[in-house]
Structure 1
Amino acid sequence: MANRLAGSPSAYLRQHAANPVDWQHYGDEALAEAARRGVPVFISIGYAACHWCHVMAHESFEDRATAEVLNERFVSIKVDREERPDVDAVYMAACQAMSGQGGWPLSIFALPDGRAFYAGTYFPPLPYPGRPSFRQILDAVWEAWTERREAVEQQAAALAEGLGGVFSAHLLDVKAPALAVESQALDDAVAALVRGEDPENGGFGGAPKFPPSPVLEFLIRHASAASSGGGTAEAARAVAGRTLAGMCRSALFDALGGGFARYSVTADWSLPHYEKMLYDNAQLLRVLAHWVWLGGSDEFPRDEAHHAAVLTAEWLVRELGLPEGGFASSLDADSERDGRSVEGGYYVWTRRELAEALGQENAADAARLAAVFGLPMGEHSDHAGPLHAGRALDTAERELLERHRAALVVARARRTPPGRDDKVVAGWNGLAVAALADAAWALERPELLDAAQRAAELLATVHWDGERLLRVSHAGSGAGIEGLLADYAGCAEGAFSLYAATGEERWYAWAEELLEAATQRFVADGLLSDEAVAPREASAGVRSALAGARTLDPHDTETPSGASLLAGVLLTHAAYSGSLEDRALASSILAGLPRVLAQGPRVAGWLLAVGEASLAGPLEIAVVGRPGENRRRLLAAALAAPSAGRVVAVADAEAADGKVPLLADRPSGPDGSPLAYVCRDFACRLPVGTPEELGEQLRAGG
């Protein structure tokens, strides 16, 4: 039978379209049907690249007997957490409150109005010690629903009230007095990160270990400070270098084709969970580009970072780039190998496969590569492993890999590739646009700007209608809910970065439109929230699950929070435009930094990075004059400026009085020759006409 999921923009939902379960989309229609039938709601939440989501789908949702129970006793709803992070956040909090743990697949049982009363994650088809089977859970929930309804409803009401209080406590008062960021708070955050570092392997904590992308951006910005009151700039540089080295030299990074896996099952990054996400790779590409601009470190040299960044940028454009522009959300962890679905099957190699790919004439080189990458020998020589050394390659080893990279790529391309979730998520694509715009200049790869502009065009024409931003599109058509705060702010971040990289004022103008819409749509009664006050599609079930409370999560998860992204683009716009209102609003958001830091700096990376920008800036650089090699060199020097508070405006001589206030009254030199103007703290230096002079001014702190 076909259910309602066919034709969804989400690949995850489309994967369940042929299930015998009568799945519905999350929304008022499904909840109303549950109320009419007098049955509870089963909500299953996952995402396309989730390994255990696929396992539970095969074991339970494709099983007709299980489907009959679900269809008879429940209204079943399938949710893509990437499409509906608002729904996922609420029910994940409910699961953690009830069970003390969470994860995906997320399995929620709720009243017909959306209030949860029981939750778990993966349930197997048969029971085993400590974990009941899914059928046992269905029977137990149905028995509670029919025999103890009043107790179930009381539990759901109490949970909703509790969650509502937790979520509403994070709402941000934008009328609160603006507070200046103190350098001591940033130094203390670096010191805390040093204490929590895994100095042997890089990164933080033990297994599983995730890329700390927002934290890395903070550390790089802190390391770029001309001086640090607590003397922590070098410490920040060292921690960032060790973390980047640990990841880029490990199995987390695809040394053959580029790009990073979602996380490592082990503390030493040696066993990745092989799904590849746009949001991870966009952030890490930008971090690597900024590390190149910073100049690298002893722990992770600039040339090694440059190489990893180039491979990642090429992978992102090649593997996630879509025909209509924009970037797909993810690649699956699983792929076919030897006739069955295997996690990481596309990426791992045996010694025999390596030898076959290089041919008999290169047998010695194949053996050397197998040894470098630690592939098993002897009786285990048919065991497959990822190509990684777990250390920096020496010159001869790098040359060996480069000599045979093309042959290995061709051989791997003959395998069945992992599935791709080709929905476009607005906020993640905004981060990708920003990453490619910066990487184009840091890596001297101007073709990356073409990919950034194609993605921005899709966002500006398909997702944006002039007033509101859609979160998701598929095959060139917008669909689903209005974007969340992180979508608006993420797209504005990308648009501002693209303007700085190209000088095309339309991107600056679009960033302004997004910023104005965000401040209007996500603020009500002086409070900032993650969901628009009057969204295109009301989330009645979510509001009920929180007893009517609005939500704001100020903590960074796998991506920067909407609030911290908004603070960053407000500061950027204030530097371009001189808007005191925007700088005050950014400062009001930054005033919440101590409260977020109470949970530790690892959940406040992007807000800390914005704090660095607030403390260091604004450093305003305007580049004007006719296009040509000298203006290109001036712009390259401006973009590479080692300051967290730097903004760059660029225009032709004829356009110097256009849409960007920072360019006003900035004449070019004689006959339109390029000039650069550097301003800090409302004071400007004399314009200069060479990259060397500009570099001297920037090294002097503007």
Structure 2
Amino acid sequence: MSNRLANATSPYLRQHADNPVDWLPWGEEAFERARERDVPLFVSIGYSACHWCHVMAHESFEDPGVAAYLNEHFVPVKVDREERPDVDAVYLQATQALTGQAGWPMSVFTTPDGAPIFAGTYFPPRRQGRVPSFGEVCTAIAGAWRNDRGDTARRAEAIAQALAAATGPLPPAEIDAAAAIAEIRTNTDPVHGGFGGAPKFPQATALDALLAAGDAASVELAFEALGAMARGGIHDQLGGGFARYAVDDAWIVPHFEKMLVDNALLLASATRAWALARAGGDPRAHVFERAARGIVTWLETVARTAEGAFAASTDADSRDADGALREGAFFVWRRVQLDDVLGEDAADAAAVFGVTDAGTFERGASTLRRLDPADDPVDPAWFESVRARLAASRAERTPPARDDKVVTAWNGHTIDALVQAGLAFGEPTWIDAAATAARFLRDVHLVDGLPRRVSIDGVVGDAPGVAEDAGALAAGFARLGAATGDAAWLELARELLARADGAFGLEDGGYADARADASPIAARARELSDDPAPSGTSTLIDAARLVAALTDDRALADRAALAAETRSGLVARAPMAVGRAVRDALEDAREEGALPGPPPAQLVVVHSPGDRAAALALAAVGARSAPPGSAVVVASDGTTRFGTLLAGRHPLDGRPTAFVCRGTTCSLPVTSEVELAALLAAE
């Protein structure tokens, strides 16, 4: 018999619909039931692609005895962290504060009003050394609630006060952009590329900061990181796209889940790296291009939903040849399997892909990497032949399950990245794909002017959107409007930002992550970190800066600057955690002349009706050559509602014509690609 999760929007919640646990979704009903029964809540937080979430579900939540105890002594609540990031953020802070670590699955016991009493992550079905079993934890919490209510209530109040104090930002501070990027450089791995050690995450926002810095040392570190990832096991060498992280520091073995948001951010990073490498004649340009194109392939062939938007993730686990569910089974190869598929090419392919007899993963299997030199790769035609044969063979395996929910923020980032990549690589179909997704988000996810968080099968859920949803979607709309010359998208972005200011704005000029009316939890979390994805504050700032640049809206630019003050203290203390803020500070410093290099520009390409293809070719030069933070507009003659950017600007002699502006100064129009590249490179 199904519980209350059977009709949930989230596939992750639906996966627990047949548990004997009497789960409720997050909401007021759960709190009312807990108050009526005078019992605590057990809040279990996870997500579809989480391996250990599935393990704990199988070991504990499918156990009738455990379920009976939970149902009797608690109100069990299941939360998809991707659907309710506001809830996840509050309890993540609590878990970190109580245990010194945090992760998923997250197991939180709360008062009937949602105040945390006790928290942890994965609990085994039987005690493992000092780690108690899940049953032991439940028994202890139920006993404390029944027999020592006063102490339990005081504990919950102390935790709530600590969390409320932690939601405020650090005091504002002067940002030294050069010092911030220098600090980020010290966090790089000089041996394997990237940042830190195992487990090793891509950290796209820190990469973007290095790329935006523009100096040779910073760019080289970004190239090394992206190159190591693109040639490592974290990158799907056959089907494109990146896994969430590597379990080792050399990028050999990934945790095989693929997240939409990671790939959207890395698409933008790889596009920027490719443009810089191409301009500088760096032989690694082909590595970054292959990474970017591979991500788009994954988006188009795996992540795209029937409605034209993009699904949240694919699982780490998949079925092996025996039908057993194993991590990475879809992606890894044994040496003998290469022989079966490739014949006489198998030995060379094994050397290129790093497939060994002993294996680099489990059970004698290896992940696929690229071990041929980046500056002297194997013959591309041979490699493509091998890749295609392996991909065709792999297609006969059972692929990982896909989490079909459409997350607003992640789709906003994807729309933004597809437009940027489509312009730079001269691929208008990528921009078309972004437009299809944007129309779905506009028509389905926007409710009363603000986004809902997720939809599935074309039906939007009840979970309200958070700040990152509004910001990422507004930025995607604005970028799309600029690339297509359709000012309706730009107007929609402005309206969304105005509504977001009312829904998320705080007295100090910053933004809360959640709307004041969206969550029964008292604390409104404000997470300013841009790791692993841009914070809600950063996405709203990014969108406001972009729309301001496209519309000459000084008030919007000032609003972005005011919000940026709330993260300035964190930039000064921990720049690695706020890569977007560092990137913005670098752009501002360059615009003010405090750092060398060309400042951000506004590039406008105006074309005659019917001449869009030639205009996009000219815009591609601009997109590849423009400094970080630049805005690119491609519009038909006579287009309005872009502020003064298009005022009085027309094609010269009927040819697509480019205009470059910086601050209050604009160049003379040019019609050649060479002239445009030279203009954008000038300081």
Q: Does 1:295 align with 2:314?
A: no
What is residue 228 of structure 1 aligned with on the other side? none
Alpha-carbon distance in 1 for matches of 2:256, 2:469 = 26
Alpha-carbon distance in 1 for matches of 2:670, 2:391 = 47
What is residue 153 of structure 1 aligned with on the other side? 153
- In the TM superposition, 1:428-447 aligns within 5 A as 428-447=410-429
What is residue 694 of structure 1 aligned with on the other side? 676
CA deviation map 1:632-682 (0-9, x unaligned): 332222222331231122321132xx1111334223145644322222121
What is residue 308 of structure 1 aligned with on the other side? 291
Contact 1:620-1:679 at 8 Å conserved across structures: yes
Structure 1 residue 614: Cα displacement: 2.8
Alpha-carbon distance in 1 for matches of 2:170, 2:641 = 34
The DSSP-based 3-state class of the residue aligned with 2:455 is strand
Alpha-carbon distance in 1 for matches of 2:434, 2:388 = 26
Structure 1 residue 254: Cα displacement: 0.7
What is residue 13 of structure 2 aligned with on the other side? 13
Q: Does 1:624 align with 2:606?
A: yes
Q: Does 1:365 align with 2:345?
A: yes
CA deviation map 1:183-207 (0-9, x unaligned): xx22112211222211110011111
Structure 1 residue 592: Cα displacement: 3.6
CA deviation map 1:509-545 (0-9, x unaligned): 221221221122212445433345454xx311x21xx
Q: Does 1:329 align with 2:320?
A: no
Contact 2:528-2:567 at 8 Å conserved across structures: no
- In the TM superposition, 1:256-295 aligns within 5 A as 256-295=238-277
Q: 1:45 to 1:669 in 2, by over 3 A?
A: closer
Q: Which deviates further from its counterpart, 7-16 or 48-57?
A: 7-16
- In the TM superposition, 1:463-474 aligns within 5 A as 463-474=445-456
What is residue 596 of structure 2 aligned with on the other side? none
Structure 1 residue 298: Cα displacement: 8.1
Alpha-carbon distance in 1 for matches of 2:313, 2:85 = 15
Contact 1:245-1:299 at 8 Å conserved across structures: no
Contact 2:504-2:513 at 8 Å conserved across structures: yes
Among 603, 618, 630, which residue is 1:634 paired with? 618
Give the residue type in structure 1 aligned to 2:581. L
CA deviation map 1:251-297 (0-9, x unaligned): 00011111101101111111110010000000001111111222356
Among 317, 327, 346, which residue is 2:300 paired with? 317
- In the TM superposition, 1:392-541 aligns within 5 A as 392=373, 394-396=376-378, 398-531=380-513, 533-535=515-517, 538-540=518-520
Alpha-carbon distance in 1 for matches of 2:380, 2:57 = 42
Give the residue type in structure 2 aligned to 1:576. L
Give the residue type in structure 2 aligned to 1:55. V
Q: Does 1:67 align with 2:48?
A: no
Contact 2:43-2:109 at 8 Å conserved across structures: yes
Q: Which deviates further from its counterpart, 115-124 or 398-407?
A: 398-407
Give the residue type in structure 2 aligned to 1:86. D
Q: Does 1:385 align with 2:369?
A: no
Structure 1 stretches lacking a partner, 5+ long? 224-232
Q: Which deviates further from its counterpart, 493-502 or 431-440?
A: 493-502
Contact 2:178-2:586 at 8 Å conserved across structures: no
Alpha-carbon distance in 2 for matches of 1:157, 1:390 = 55
Q: 1:499 to 1:38 in 2, by over 3 A?
A: same
Alpha-carbon distance in 1 for matches of 2:116, 2:206 = 33
Alpha-carbon distance in 1 for matches of 2:324, 2:398 = 11
Alpha-carbon distance in 2 for matches of 1:263, 1:298 = 30
Structure 1 residue 444: Cα displacement: 2.7
Among 638, 648, 654, which residue is 2:632 paired with? 648
What is residue 594 of structure 2 aligned with on the other side? none
Structure 2 stretches lacking a partner, 5+ long? 592-598
Contact 2:505-2:512 at 8 Å conserved across structures: no
The DSSP-based 3-state class of the residue aligned with 2:192 is coil
- In the TM superposition, 1:567-606 aligns within 5 A as 567-606=541-580
Q: Which deviates further from its counterpart, 130-139 or 506-515?
A: 506-515
Alpha-carbon distance in 1 for matches of 2:48, 2:200 = 21
Which structure ranks higher in relative contact order (CA pairs < 8 Å, sequence separation ≥ 6)? 1
Structure 1 residue 156: Cα displacement: 0.2
Structure 1 residue 694: Cα displacement: 1.9
Q: Does 1:56 align with 2:30?
A: no
Alpha-carbon distance in 2 for matches of 1:246, 1:630 = 36
Identical amino acids, percent of aligned pairs: 40
Structure 1 residue 571: Cα displacement: 1.5
Alpha-carbon distance in 1 for matches of 2:416, 2:647 = 28
Q: 1:376 to 1:684 in 2, by over 3 A?
A: closer
Contact 2:331-2:367 at 8 Å conserved across structures: yes
Alpha-carbon distance in 1 for matches of 2:440, 2:128 = 48
Contact 2:513-2:537 at 8 Å conserved across structures: no
Structure 1 residue 445: Cα displacement: 2.4
What is residue 164 of structure 2 aligned with on the other side? 164
Q: 1:624 to 1:382 in 2, by over 3 A?
A: same
Among 212, 223, 234, which residue is 2:203 paired with? 212
Alpha-carbon distance in 1 for matches of 2:3, 2:217 = 55
Alpha-carbon distance in 2 for matches of 1:103, 1:503 = 43
Contact 1:249-1:392 at 8 Å conserved across structures: no
Contact 1:282-1:431 at 8 Å conserved across structures: yes
The DSSP-based 3-state class of the residue aligned with 1:237 is helix
The DSSP-based 3-state class of the residue aligned with 2:240 is coil
Alpha-carbon distance in 2 for matches of 1:318, 1:138 = 44
Give the residue type in structure 2 aligned to 1:294. L
Alpha-carbon distance in 2 for matches of 1:681, 1:561 = 28
Alpha-carbon distance in 1 for matches of 2:679, 2:251 = 41
What is residue 610 of structure 1 aligned with on the other side? 584
Structure 1 residue 504: Cα displacement: 2.1
What is residue 353 of structure 1 aligned with on the other side? 337
Structure 1 residue 425: Cα displacement: 0.6
Q: 1:466 to 1:31 in 2, by over 3 A?
A: closer
What is residue 229 of structure 1 aligned with on the other side? none
CA deviation map 1:304-357 (0-9, x unaligned): 211121111111121100011210000000011122110111100111222222
Contact 1:524-1:533 at 8 Å conserved across structures: no
The DSSP-based 3-state class of the residue aligned with 2:602 is strand
After TM superposition, the score normalised by the length of structure 1 is 0.91
Q: For the aligned residues, what is the CA RMSD?
A: 2.1
Q: Does 1:198 align with 2:189?
A: yes
Contact 1:282-1:435 at 8 Å conserved across structures: yes
Give the residue type in structure 2 aligned to 1:76. P
The DSSP-based 3-state class of the residue aligned with 1:114 is coil
Alpha-carbon distance in 1 for matches of 2:281, 2:219 = 10
Alpha-carbon distance in 2 for matches of 1:24, 1:346 = 33
The DSSP-based 3-state class of the residue aligned with 2:354 is coil
Q: Which deviates further from its counterpart, 89-98 or 516-525?
A: 516-525
Structure 1 residue 447: Cα displacement: 1.7
Give the residue type in structure 1 aligned to 2:340. E
Q: Which deviates further from its counterpart, 91-100 or 48-57?
A: 91-100
Q: Does 1:556 align with 2:556?
A: no
What is residue 642 of structure 2 aligned with on the other side? 660
Contact 1:275-1:332 at 8 Å conserved across structures: yes
Q: Which deviates further from its counterpart, 586-595 or 237-246?
A: 586-595
Give the residue type in structure 1 aligned to 2:4. R
Alpha-carbon distance in 1 for matches of 2:650, 2:271 = 30
Alpha-carbon distance in 1 for matches of 2:264, 2:306 = 19
Structure 1 residue 630: Cα displacement: 4.0
The DSSP-based 3-state class of the residue aligned with 1:452 is helix
Alpha-carbon distance in 1 for matches of 2:58, 2:371 = 35
The DSSP-based 3-state class of the residue aligned with 1:283 is helix
Q: Does 1:681 align with 2:653?
A: no
The DSSP-based 3-state class of the residue aligned with 2:54 is helix
Structure 1 residue 84: Cα displacement: 0.5
